[in-house]
């Protein structure tokens, strides 16, 4: 499966198994285009304490070095335990880097010129 890496969020995990897996975690948020032209948002969580981190470290560093850009990612495998989540144990393949489209600016609301028409 292919997707665009949109955001990398860093957070500290505090849970029941914090002594083993606690600390810094990375949540990678992807945009997955569907066949009908719509997009879905998928995610993947990666911990520097896990062995699979070596597959993701280059992708995370490249995204942080290029803010405001999407990175194409290939060979992503959906995780069977959780919907809209990729399996972190499968190594991804990095593709091209694309600039994120700029958001459209809101236009000023139309003025009500009712009073000026009848004066």
Q: What is the mean pLDDT of the chain?
A: 84
The confidence score (pLDDT) of residue 16 equals: 65
- Rounded-to-integer distance, Cα 41 and Cα 59, Å: 18
pTM above 0.85, yes or no: no
The confidence score (pLDDT) of residue 37 equals: 84
Torsion of CA 47, 48, 49, 55, to 10 degrees: 90
- Rounded-to-integer distance, Cα 12 and Cα 47, Å: 10
The confidence score (pLDDT) of residue 29 equals: 94
47-84 pLDDT, tens per residue?
888 899 999 999 999 999 998 899 999 999 999 888 99
32-52 pLDDT, tens per residue?
988 888 899 999 999 888 899
The confidence score (pLDDT) of residue 20 equals: 63
The confidence score (pLDDT) of residue 17 equals: 60
H helices, E strands: number in the chain: 3, 5
The confidence score (pLDDT) of residue 56 equals: 93
User: How large is the average pLDDT for residues 80-90?
Assistant: 91
Contact 92, 76 (CB under 8 A): yes
């Amino acid at each position: 499966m292919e997707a665009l890496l949109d955001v990398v969020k860093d957070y500290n995990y505090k849970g029941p198994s914090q002594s083993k897996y606690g600390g810094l975690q990375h949540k990678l948020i992807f945009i997955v285009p569907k066949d009908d032209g719509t997009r879905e948002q998928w995610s993947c969580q990666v911990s520097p304490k896990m062995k699979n981190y070596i597959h993701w470290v280059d992708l995370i560093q490249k995204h942080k070095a290029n803010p405001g850009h999407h990175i194409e990612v290939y060979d992503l495998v959906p995780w069977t335990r959780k919907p809209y989540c990729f399996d972190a144990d499968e190594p991804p393949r990095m593709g091209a880097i694309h600039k994120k489209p700029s958001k459209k600016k809101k236009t000023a609301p139309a003025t009500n010129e009712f009073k000026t028409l009848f004066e």
